[in-house]
């Protein structure tokens, strides 16, 4: 059991009931030539969260916390991709189009893979999700149930899109979510800041926000 300094208040965590959930730290979002860039974003804005995330991942592994990774992406035949998702907007390349890291946001392609700095190791579940939320059309809920997880430490990208959607889904499923703010990032720094405020407002309406350093201090105590 350890105490984690967080907003709106500190909370007690029990390692065997706590999982680190790393959302969509894929080349498609973080590196040039992927999905994020095709949408018109500056992907370099996501890089600052990698190192704190790497430190949290190392500590979580060292202390035996369950680590779960997610990847957003689709089957090669696009049978699990809604037309509105593929056709929306005017991107440089659409989902499924060939790009420099393979077909955009398609499972099995280089761009779909998790970045080397945060690569999963054997035994860490990887959840492939077709949507923004990690619970939608996945077996994440089942895995949390079988492992007895009631609390999620959430990292990843992007803060206001897949991280927020997943936190909202988890909150409605009775899980406590702690977003490690500096382990998340957005293509829109102002959205990142507001998304974190939205989690902790109203007495922590969606959960808690903490930092990599608070987590490292707490778990190493």
* Residues involved in catalysis: 24, 129, 162
50 binds ligand TIU (CB under 6 A): no
Least separation, in Å, of the C-beta of 50 and ligand TIU? 15
Q: Which is nearer to ligand TIU, 7 or 37 (CB)?
A: 37
Half-sphere exposure (Cβ direction) of 46: Cα atoms closer than 13 Å: 25
In the region spanning residues 29 to 48, those forming contacts with ligand TIU, defined by CB under 6 A, are 29, 39
Q: Which is nearer to ligand TIU, 4 or 155 (CB)?
A: 155
Angle at alpha carbon of residue 181, lines to 158 and 128, rounded to 5°: 40
The residue within the footprint of ligand TIU, chosen from 24, 31, 37, 182 (CB under 6 A), is 24
In the region spanning residues 59 to 98, those forming contacts with ligand TIU, defined by CB under 6 A, are 72
The Cβ of residue 61 has, within 10 Å, a number of other Cβ atoms equal to: 14
In the region spanning residues 144 to 203, those forming contacts with ligand TIU, defined by CB under 6 A, are 157-158, 161-162, 187
Least separation, in Å, of the C-beta of 23 and ligand TIU? 6
Gap between the Cα atoms of 36 and 43, Å rounded: 7
Shortest CA distance to 145 belongs to which of 210, 68, 93, 198? 68
3-state secondary structure of 13: strand
Q: How many residues form the binding site for ligand TIU (CB under 6 A)?
A: 10
Least separation, in Å, of the C-beta of 175 and ligand TIU? 19
Structure tokens at 75: 């089957």
DSSP 114: B
Q: Which is nearer to ligand TIU, 7 or 24 (CB)?
A: 24
Least separation, in Å, of the C-beta of 119 and ligand TIU? 17
Peptide bond into 8 cis (omega under 30): yes
Q: Which is nearer to ligand TIU, 151 or 158 (CB)?
A: 158
DSSP string, 21-60: EEE--BHHHHSTTSHHHHTT--GGGGGGGHHHHHHHHHHH
Specify the residue for token string 């056709």: 87
Binding site for ligand TIU (CB under 6 A): 24, 29, 39, 72, 132, 157-158, 161-162, 187
């Amino acid at each position: 059991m350890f105490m984690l300094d967080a907003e709106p208040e500190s909370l007690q965590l029990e390692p065997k009931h706590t999982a680190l959930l790393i959302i969509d730290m894929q080349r498609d979002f973080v590196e040039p030539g992927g999905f994020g860039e095709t949408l018109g974003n500056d992907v370099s804005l996501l890089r600052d969260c990698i190192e704190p995330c790497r430190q949290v991942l190392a500590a979580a592994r060292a202390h035996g916390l369950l680590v779960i990774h997610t990847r957003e992406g689709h089957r090669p035949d696009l049978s699990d991709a809604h037309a509105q998702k593929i056709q929306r907007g005017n991107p440089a390349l659409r989902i499924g189009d060939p790009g420099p890291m393979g077909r955009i946001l398609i499972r099995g392609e280089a761009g779909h893979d998790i970045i080397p700095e945060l690569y999963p190791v054997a035994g860490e579940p990887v959840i492939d999700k077709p949507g923004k939320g990690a619970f939608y059309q996945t077996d994440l809920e089942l895995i949390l149930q079988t492992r007895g997880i009631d609390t999620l430490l959430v990292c990843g990208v992007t803060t206001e899109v897949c991280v927020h959607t997943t936190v909202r889904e988890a909150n409605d499923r009775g899980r406590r979510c702690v977003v490690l703010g500096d382990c998340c990032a957005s293509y829109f720094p102002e959205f990142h800041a507001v998304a974190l405020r939205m989690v902790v407002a109203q007495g922590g309406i969606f959960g808690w926000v903490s930092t990599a350093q608070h987590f490292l201090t707490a778990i190493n105590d």
